[in-house]
């Protein structure tokens, strides 16, 4: 099983993890470069993905330190950065294998990762989208927003406490469409990203073919 270390703030790290979301990957998250070094020394990860401008030790400094270590230095490093000339120069100088600019494009991000390590393909490309979602759990309604979506599922953010394996109903409109999607989902992943703020990775159950086609078209337009 491939090990990937994501170094970023909690929300961005969860977004990157969601794009990668593959059962054949073991993903570690560090919120500082110092923590990242500790994890890499312990786990000997197969890929490091770091933001360039981390608080404290920056991402390019982290990369430089990794490169100087005879044991740990061979790991591929992917840096997420801005599109400024100075950012790109910093990436080049520190010895990173590759970089990708913000905002992240999910398809390009997966391509970059796949170029550095052999990553099994996941079903359904996910795209970031912020839409209002009405949820129902145990006959109680709650409100949440989407983080990303694909034809296989949705990542939502909510203050409602739900457990892995729970079944919820999600109702939402696909952007640019009059289609209202009402679908049962099973919660596959639970991530506590802040105090009383949760991200839930939910898999669609028996999604209507028409709605699946509409979501697929939305994803296609966002990634074209």
pLDDT at 154: 94
pLDDT at 134: 97
Same fold across 2-116 and 127-223: no
What CA–CA distance (Å, rounded) separates 54 from 60? 9
pLDDT at 1: 84
CB 136 within 8 A of CB 158: no
Query: For residue 135, which of 161, 111, 103, 98 has the smallest C-alpha distance?
Result: 161
pLDDT tens, N- to C-terminus, the chain (224 residues): 899 999 999 888 888 888 887 657 889 999 999 999 999 999 999 999 999 999 999 999 999 999 999 889 999 999 999 999 999 999 999 999 999 999 888 888 988 998 899 765 555 677 888 999 999 999 999 999 999 999 999 999 999 999 999 999 999 999 888 889 999 999 988 888 888 889 999 999 999 999 999 998 898 888 77
pLDDT at 94: 95
pLDDT at 120: 59
Per CATH, which fold does 2-116 belong to? Rossmann fold (3.40.50)
CB 77 within 8 A of CB 60: no
**Residues in contact with 182: Cβ distance below 8 Å, sequence separation at least 6, in sequence order:** 169, 170, 171
pTM: 0.66
CATH class, range 127-223:
mainly beta
pLDDT at 10: 85
Alpha helices in the chain (DSSP H): 10-20, 33-43, 59-68, 85-94, 106-116, 209-223
pLDDT at 192: 82
Domain boundaries, the chain: 2-116, 127-223
pLDDT at 189: 86
pLDDT at 23: 58
């Amino acid at each position: 099983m491939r090990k990937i270390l994501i170094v970023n703030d909690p929300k961005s790290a969860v977004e990157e993890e969601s794009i990668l979301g593959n059962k054949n990957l073991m993903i570690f998250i560090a919120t500082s470069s110092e923590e990242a070094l500790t994890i890499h020394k312990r786990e000997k990860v197969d890929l490091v993905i770091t933001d360039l401008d981390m608080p404290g030790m920056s991402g390019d400094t982290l990369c430089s330190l990794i490169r100087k270590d005879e044991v740990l230095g061979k790991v591929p490093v992917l840096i997420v950065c801005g599109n400024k000339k100075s950012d790109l120069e910093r990436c080049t100088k520190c010895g990173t294998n590759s970089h990708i600019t913000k905002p992240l494009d999910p398809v390009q991000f997966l391509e970059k990762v796949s170029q550095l390590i052999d990553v099994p393909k996941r079903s359904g490309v996910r795209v970031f989208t912020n839409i209002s979602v009405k949820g129902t759990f145990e006959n109680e309604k709650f409100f949440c927003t989407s983080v990303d979506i694909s034809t296989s599922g949705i990542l939502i953010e909510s203050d409602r406490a739900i457990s892995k394996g729970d079944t919820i109903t999600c109702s939402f409109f696909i952007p640019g469409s009059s289609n209202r999607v009402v679908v049962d989902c099973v919660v596959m992943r639970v991530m506590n990203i802040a105090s009383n703020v949760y991200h839930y990775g939910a898999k669609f159950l028996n999604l209507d073919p028409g709605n699946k086609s509409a979501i697929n078209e939305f994803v296609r337009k966002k990634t074209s």
